Amino acid sequence: MRIRRDGAARPYPERNTEPSSRPGCRASPKQHLLGCGEVLVPRYHPRMQTTVTPAKLGEEPVLRNLAQLYAYDFAEIMGWDIPDSGRFPDAIVDGCFGNTSRCPFFLRAGDHLAGFAIVDMRSRLTGDESVHDMAEFFVARTSRRRGVGAAAAVALFDRFPGHWEVRQADRNTAALAFWRAIIGRNTAGRFDEVRHDGPGWRGTVQSFDWP
């Protein structure tokens, strides 16, 4: 999915790279109607049906496994080395089960597991318990650019109406662009954005009321 400057989304086209079956035939999206044979026809990533479900106590190992994929993506962004154990720390999962202030969710695209999210029932910046914090949000690479992240974000906002804070690390420019677009489009631009530099967080923060 490509995000325009105005915050609107549009499908990102892929082109079939198979050449035309007729030598010397210049391909165009309409030439298959003219007997030209196989041509370069734009294809689009299908939009995936997205569901967001609470993670159950017995599913903690699944969440910890997904946390490894999440950490690997962050290692690429932040320049982290792989630990000698071959496994990244997964402390982000701690406190997710048996604790009503930290809520884990699985994201599914169609019938397939596509990622996870963790929502905290208080601000990481101030400790205010009237604020919902998007503590962690991860969409697997195989499910990106298919509308999964956007649909999951809105589903989580709908689940917890009220005041929200969403944070991005300084180096995570892709996440910054994603959240600016999603929040801006779904609030008609009615959100505040600041760069926070304190003991609880260093990076960009969007805050807004939902709905």
pLDDT tens sequence across 74-105: 999 999 999 999 999 999 999 999 999 999 99
Report if residue 115 sits inside a domain.
yes
Structure confidence at residue 148 (pLDDT): 97
Structure confidence at residue 45 (pLDDT): 57
* Residue 169 identity (one-letter amino acid): A
Structure confidence at residue 33 (pLDDT): 36
Report if residue 157 sits inside a domain.
yes
How many C-beta neighbours within 10 Å does residue 193 have? Answer: 16
- Structural domain for 118, as ranges: 50-162
Number of domains in the chain: 1
Report if residue 128 sits inside a domain.
yes
The CATH number of the domain holding residue 87 is 3.40.630.30
Report if residue 207 sits inside a domain.
no
Report if residue 107 sits inside a domain.
yes
Report if residue 208 sits inside a domain.
no
Please give the residue that has the higher pLDDT: either 14 or 159: 159
pLDDT bucket at 200, cuts 50 / 70 / 90: confident
pLDDT bucket at 41, cuts 50 / 70 / 90: very low
Does the structure show a pLDDT above 80 at 15? Answer: no
Report if residue 132 sits inside a domain.
yes
Quick: pLDDT tens for 157-199: 999 999 999 999 999 999 999 999 999 999 999 999 999 999 8
Angle at 109 between CA 181 and CA 151, to 5 degrees: 25
**H or E element in which residue 195 lies:** strand 192-197
What are the structure tokens assigned to 109, written together?
């695209």
C-alpha 179/C-alpha 168 separation (Å) is 9
Overall average pLDDT of the 5-19 stretch: 40
Structure confidence at residue 47 (pLDDT): 80
Angle at 121 between CA 119 and CA 122, to 5 degrees: 115
